[in-house]
Amino acid sequence: MISARQLEVLSTVIEVGTTARAAELLAVSQPAISNMIRHTEDLIGFPLFHREHGRLTPTHEARHIAQEAQHLFMQQKRVESIVNELRGGTIGRLSIVATPSIGHGILPHVLSRFMEQRPKLQLSIELGSIDEINRRLVSGRADLGLSITPPRHSALSVHEVGAGRMMCVCPDGHELGLLDTISIADLNHVQHISYGTGTPLGQQIDKVFSERGLERRYFCEVRHTATALEMVRNGLGVALVDSFALIGQRHHGVTVRDTSPELPLNMHAVTSNLFPTSNLALRFQSFLADVLIGGPVQPGDTV
Amino acid sequence: MISARQLEVLSTVIEVGTTARAAELLAVSQPAISNMIRHTEDLIGFPLFHREHGRLTPTHEARHIAQEAQHLFMQQKRVESIVNELRGGTIGRLSIVATPSIGHGILPHVLSRFMEQRPKLQLSIELGSIDEINRRLVSGRADLGLSITPPRHSALSVHEVGAGRMMCVCPDGHELGLLDTISIADLNHVQHISYGTGTPLGQQIDKVFSERGLERRYFCEVRHTATALEMVRNGLGVALVDSFALIGQRHHGVTVRDTSPELPLNMHAVTSNLFPTSNLALRFQSFLADVLIGGPVQPGDTV
DNA sequence: GCATCTTTATAACTCAGGGTTATATCCATG
DNA sequence: CATGGATATAACCCTGAGTTATAAAGATGC
């Protein structure tokens, strides 16, 4: 079997005319070229060059082979470039499932920046509950899950990917907007949109309330922070919203304030142990982590 | 640079699922596969397989690479087959210049048999004088010259490729046809077509005549045996014709007889020293020699 | 006509990589 | 718990592609 290297040497010698210049071009010594040519001729069984007056002139057969070899070199380069693109994560298919608050907040923002350097990427974005994230990951339909509350599943690996916190949002001009920091106790005295006690978010908030001997009171119960944020924007009341939902959003119409006490909240990247995690997914995960390490959104940020 | 071998191993492992079966298929040991995979992963910088429970499952990236590698394998096979075809002389371009007697006689016959096994061949056949043969060979416009009289040129190599002789042809029913062997002296007593004393053929015949104290007498002078043969066929007279012109011809209308004395005549293959002789030309040359070694045409042969 | 340059070929050696065998380890399974 | 199938590791071997040094043979220039 004739090797790619042999074809490369053959082509180069034909191209540049002498073994010495071919050797220079291929960054090896001249005898290496001489030997390889002779070896190749022995292998294929007919001469590739005509030796005359101590010069080499390629035979028609050699030219024919070199011609055909060009296509092989093309293909070689193609494979090489695909390997490079796969390494750099600039190629491939990335399938993400995220909770709605992430999917509506930070995800499009980060994705658009991630895609800037990777125009060839194929994307698939799904939004869903923790259960949906679990299902898609264990069935291999998604590469990466993003969620605030980490799922518990033996076949899934969870990585903390960034720190955030709950923030209070109120409609512009709302009385709470006058304060720099809003105590959670204050929430009970205003029209307040919050999350069901059955939801992970609701439970986490409840825990803080009860630690302070408070009972959480709200006039409207929603499931997703995105919904709450939209209601606030329409002036229906105030709400606690995770900082991730605020990143990449224009805040016109709403005022964002820190809470007291702080309600820390981390974003988790989830991958399946049942399928190999694509290099691309890992790249996106660390890209996301890099963005989030800049710290959670600040009151007033428009990002 | 990732090698073809690495891609081959990668593809095979992905295809058959385990290193052991891949090793079997590639006829190497299992550790060889294991090492190559690991080495490849080190080289490209990201994992190609997910190790889990001591099993290998290919990553998306690995699948992608293997997919692309298929094209490279195709190309590899293509080059390989072209090398084989070049070796077997079943591909390429063959340009022959021959004298008219050869070109009209044996050449088409031998060529058609040569081409039977080589349907892809590109042919170029030219007929011409010795001078024309010389010119085309030294200028590189032809690979192989075929001639009875060997050309004299420092840049040309001549190989004897087959033995023949002069034969006497007469129209069917001609009085000479009654004899088994025709003495050259008999020719002077009938309507006789022959070659100018300036032509190589004429000179050779003249030599035999004069050795016997005879003077060659003919009523019609032609240059080529093919012309002479055609005239005989039309009943214009008898002629001496080289046996090569008779091979592959239907002899209806003419009778062929041996001469006394024998006038031996060899066919010569001529190649240029200025250009490498194509493998194909050499193949044809030996094919032709093989055909001719069957001996010259016999009286009555239709070949 | 002789020295020099260019070019290819040869010789003798080095070294890395792809191969080997033997064996360890891990897990699924009867 | 033993067994079988799978991958990985270790230690070794050998071929082949590379090296340097040098020879040989034409071209070239003074």
Using one digit for the tens of pLDDT, what is the confidence trace for B229-256? Answer: 888 988 888 999 988 888 766 667 889 9
Total domains in the fold of chain B: 2
Task: Determine, for residues B82 and A71 on separate chains, whether the beta-carbon distance falls below 8 Å.
Answer: no
Statement: the CB of B29 is under 7 Å from strand D: no
Task: Determine, for residues A279 and B68 on separate chains, whether the beta-carbon distance falls below 8 Å.
Answer: no
Task: Determine, for residues B279 and A59 on separate chains, whether the beta-carbon distance falls below 8 Å.
Answer: yes
CA quadruple B245, B247, B250, B255: dihedral sign: positive
Nearest Cα residue to A13 out of A23, A3, A4, A28? A23
Average pLDDT of chain B to the nearest whole number: 86
- Contacting residues for A179 by C-beta, under 8 A, at least 6 apart: A186, A257
Among A76-80, A264-268, B128-132, where is mean pLDDT lowest?
B128-132
Average pLDDT on A47-59 reads 85
- Asked if residue B180 belongs to a domain, the reply is yes
CA distance A223 to chain B (A): 35
Average pLDDT on A259-267 reads 89
Residues 249-288 of A with CB under 8 A from B: 273, 275-276, 278-280
User: Are B182 and B140 in the same domain?
Assistant: yes
- A99-A103-A104 Cα angle (round to 5): 120
What pLDDT does A39 receive?
A: 92
User: Are A83 and A103 in the same domain?
Assistant: no
User: Are B43 and B104 in the same domain?
Assistant: no
Rounded to 5 degrees, what are φ and ψ at B271?
-130, 160
Whichever domain contains A68, its CATH number is 1.10.10.10
What percent of chain B shows pLDDT beyond 70?
A: 95
The better pLDDT of the pair A297, B55 is held by B55
User: Are B45 and B156 in the same domain?
Assistant: no
The pLDDT tens digits for B119-155 are 888 888 889 888 889 888 888 888 899 998 888 887 7
Whichever domain contains B228, its CATH number is 3.40.190.290
User: A120 is in which domain, residue-wise?
Assistant: 93-293
Name the burial class of residue A152, with classes exposed (0-12), middle (13-18) and buried (19+) by CB atoms within 10 angstroms of its CB: exposed
Is the link from the previous residue into B261 a cis peptide, with omega within 30 of 0? yes
Both tokens of residue A96? 């993400």
Nearest Cα residue to A99 out of A145, A136, A139? A145
Q: Considering only CB atoms, which chain A residues are within 8 Å of B64?
A: 82, 86, 91-92
- Contacting residues for B302 by C-beta, under 8 A, at least 6 apart: B249, B250, B251
Which of B57, B88, B119 is where one domain is finished? B88
- Asked if residue A268 belongs to a domain, the reply is yes
What percent of chain B shows pLDDT beyond 90?
A: 25
User: Are A260 and A165 in the same domain?
Assistant: yes
Name the burial class of residue A119, with classes exposed (0-12), middle (13-18) and buried (19+) by CB atoms within 10 angstroms of its CB: exposed
Nearest Cα residue to A148 out of A209, A225, A210, A218? A225
Helix (H) or strand (E) holding B72: helix B60-88
Per-residue CA distances from B197 to A275, B217, B218, B222 (Å): 91, 11, 11, 10
Q: Considering only CB atoms, which chain A residues are within 8 Å of B73?
A: none
pLDDT level of residue A267 (50, 70, 90 thresholds): very high
Which of B51, B70, B88 is where one domain is finished? B88
- A185 at B interface, C-beta within 8 A: no
Task: Determine, for residues B87 and A44 on separate chains, whether the beta-carbon distance falls below 8 Å.
Answer: yes
User: Are B12 and B118 in the same domain?
Assistant: no
User: Are A104 and A63 in the same domain?
Assistant: no
Per-residue CA distances from B28 to B6, B32, B35, B86 (Å): 13, 7, 12, 30
The pLDDT tens digits for A177-229 are 888 899 988 888 888 999 988 888 888 888 888 888 888 888 898 988 888 88
- Asked if residue A251 belongs to a domain, the reply is yes
Both tokens of residue B17? 């699922």
Other CB atoms within 10 A of residue A213 CB: 7
What pLDDT does B300 receive?
A: 46
The nucleotide minimizing the C1' distance to residue B32's CA is: C19
Statement: the CB of B45 is under 7 Å from strand C: no
- Asked if residue B14 belongs to a domain, the reply is yes
What pLDDT does B248 receive?
A: 67
Q: Which nucleotides of C are covered by protein (CB under 7 A)?
A: 6-12, 18-23, 25-28
What pLDDT does A288 receive?
A: 92
User: How many beta-carbon pairs under 8 angstroms link A with B?
Assistant: 108
User: Are A19 and A99 in the same domain?
Assistant: no
- Asked if residue A300 belongs to a domain, the reply is no
Q: Which nucleotides of D are covered by protein (CB under 7 A)?
A: 5-11, 17-22, 24-27
The pLDDT tens digits for B9-26 are 999 999 898 999 999 999
Average pLDDT of chain A to the nearest whole number: 87
User: Are B136 and B19 in the same domain?
Assistant: no
- Asked if residue A148 belongs to a domain, the reply is yes
Q: Could you tell me the pTM of the whole model?
A: 0.72
Residue B203 has pLDDT above 50, yes or no: yes
Nearest Cα residue to A106 out of A249, A256, A265, A299? A249
End-to-end CA distance of chain A: 59
User: Which of B46, B48, B74 is best to mutate for the A interface (most A CBs within 10 A)?
Assistant: B46
Residue B168 has pLDDT above 90, yes or no: yes
Is the link from the previous residue into A261 a cis peptide, with omega within 30 of 0? yes
User: Are A68 and A118 in the same domain?
Assistant: no
User: Are B129 and B205 in the same domain?
Assistant: yes
| Cα(B8)–Cα(A101) distance, integer angstroms | 46
Helix (H) or strand (E) holding A8: helix A4-16
Which of A34, A67, A88 is where one domain is finished? A88
User: Which of B49, B68, B83, B280 is best to mutate for the A interface (most A CBs within 10 A)?
Assistant: B83
Q: A50, A57 in Cβ contact below 8 A? A: yes
User: Are B80 and B110 in the same domain?
Assistant: no
| Cα(A228)–Cα(B126) distance, integer angstroms | 90
Instruction: Note every long-range contact of A215-218, with CB atoms under 8 Å and residues 24 or more positions apart, other chains counting.
Output: A215/A188, A216/A187, A216/A188, A217/A187, A217/A188, A217/A192, A218/A187, A218/A192, A218/A193, A218/A194
The better pLDDT of the pair B172, A54 is held by B172
